[in-house]
Amino acid sequence: MAKSKQAKTAEAAAKTVTIKLTKSPIGFNKNQATVVQSIGLRKINHSVTLADTPETRGMIFKVRHLVTVSE
């Protein structure tokens, strides 16, 4: 059972997404500014690496016009 947990964590660590804020959320819906903040982006050109999960993909989809994504 320990090997399966290690395999899952290694697989999850391999699947990451780098998100970069390219446009300011000022002037857009406040919910979108909240999503940008919850992703962990603070300033323009700031990038964050997160696990590639459905939750992360949903946040990216919500602010897709403000960010660039690289896998």
Residue 47 has pLDDT above 90, yes or no: yes
Give 2-44 pLDDT, tens digit per residue. Answer: 666 665 666 655 699 999 999 999 999 999 999 999 999 999 9
Q: How confident is the model at residue 61 (pLDDT cuts 50, 70, 90)?
A: very high
Q: What pLDDT is stored for residue 9 in this prediction?
A: 60
Q: 3-class secondary structure for the chain?
A: CHHHHHHHHHHHHHCEEEEEECCCCCCCCHHHHHHHHHHCCCCCCCEEEEECCHHHHHHHHHCCCCEEEEC
Q: What pLDDT is stored for residue 11 in this prediction?
A: 62
Q: What pLDDT is stored for residue 38 in this prediction?
A: 95
Q: Identify the structural domains of the chain with CATH numbers, from first to last.
A: 15-70 (3.30.1390.20)
Global confidence as pTM: 0.77
Amino acid letter for position 54: P
